[in-house]
Chain A
């Protein structure tokens, strides 16, 4: 019995490896193979029920559909708020204050940082701006920030009791605040240089001039869309 020489063994191993590689290659290129294969097929675009109609009937059908399209477009337009509303893009940190017909103001803002603060013992906070449709619940001039627990933990300070004077911070929210509920607000900032960046604890920060216009235009009940 002949002993297989090492050269042949190497060849066989190489061939097996190459074959496996080739199978993988074809599998990874299956999208291209499918595209090549579909070229062999063609499908007539059957005009189905329409083929039996003459040009007058078809023209009537088109104008009837156009009427329905117009009605649907009106219905969709009616879904847009009539009063000024605010749209906030949390990815780009921009805002658009607009009405149904025109843009009143657009610019940069700051939204949630997406930081998850882990204080241990199962205590965690995530600083993100809530997406979806919101309404302005209340409007405040010269707002006072009632600091929540995380504000102290973040600064490594002892957490005071609920009504402790240390909880109340004056001036840090700017001249106005518009409350969205669950502690989220649209307000001003001392850190104007961070506008356009995701640095907040979930609130929306605006520059002073933008805030003034937003505050003036949005009323209680006005819609705020955050995405």
Chain B
């Protein structure tokens, strides 16, 4: 009987601890970053609007929307021109027309149709003028996680004799699945995933990518806890492309490439 009482108490304590951990986790990893980010946005929004939030007629709001859209398009084209002066391939993601393309010195090299776009809640809620100005770019990739190598190098030892040399047939590259994550210095992440649900390669390669991705996210969450300057909230865009297009795009891009997004 005594034993049963103790285990009941233990169970209650155990559940209480779990609930407390869940709450604490939600506060630390959810509410704190979201609150910090909201504070930052509100400060900028108030500054930009002078605190005014006028009630406007629908026609005016529609026109404002159109002005905003065309100004964003203009900014996007200016980014294209700006990057055309650089000597490296840049990635352009046009969410408006659902295309991703590569450009070098203003010349379009390759284009792929985006089959699916996923934008996280924070980015959707962000005031347009902030999203268009701060999260459009050109943004330079700071870190990346990928399921494929950038340079699929195969090391081959020189053959010892002519018999060995004659035996070597061309070895073809292993075509793994393509999942790529680019992170930027402005709390933004762009994920490029293959649209094919069925994996071409091994499940372990996919799991390894997911593990790396999760590890990156966890380290961001932890480091933002101790750094008051960082909000810890991550703006996230995921686009899905055909596997081979995603591979071509990723391999074409240099290390730390520039990315431009049109919303």
Contacts and interface: CB of A to CB of B under 8 A. Distances in A.
User: What is the predominant secondary structure among interface residues of chain B facing chain A?
Assistant: helix
Interface in B23-69: 25-26, 29-31, 33-35, 37-38, 41-42, 45, 48-49, 52-54, 56, 59-61, 63-64, 66-68
Given A33-B29, A41-B38, A225 B70 contact: no
A47 B54 contact: yes
Given A47-B61, A72-B78, A91-B252, A116 B153 contact: yes
A30 B81 contact: no
A156 B164 contact: yes
Contacts of A81: 107
B174 to A, nearest CB: 12
A115 B156 contact: yes
Contacts of B157: 118, 120
A1 interface: no
B63 A62 contact: yes
Interface in A57-72: 58-59, 61-62, 65-66, 68-69, 72
A189 interface: no
A223 B109 CA distance: 12
B1 interface: no
B33 A55 contact: no
Interface residues of A, number: 79
B201 interface: no
Nearest to B84: A79
A163 interface: no
B204 interface: no
Contacts of A26: 21-22, 25-26, 29
Contacts of B121: 35, 38-39
B120 A43 contact: no
A22 B18 contact: yes
Nearest to A27: B218
A92 B232 CA distance: 38
Given A155-B159, A197-B172, A69 B165 contact: no
A45 to B, nearest CB: 5
A45 B172 CA distance: 53
B25 A31 contact: no
Interface string A22-44: 11001110110111111111111
A180 B21 CA distance: 63
A159 B228 CA distance: 63
B248 interface: yes
B70 A30 contact: no
A15 B54 contact: no
Given A7-B3, A34-B29, A35-B120, 5 more contacts: A30-B221, A58-B60, A87-B109, A92-B247, A153-B158
Interface of B: 3, 6-7, 10, 14, 17-18, 21-22, 25-26, 29-31, 33-35, 37-38, 41-42, 45, 48-49, 52-54, 56, 59-61, 63-64, 66-68, 70-71, 73-74, 77-78, 80-81, 84, 87-89, 102, 104-110, 120-122, 125-129, 151-162, 164-165, 170-173, 214, 217-218, 221-222, 232-234, 236, 244, 247-248, 251-252
The 6 closest A-B pairs by CB, nearest first: A79-B106, A33-B30, A26-B25, A37-B30, A46-B49, A37-B34
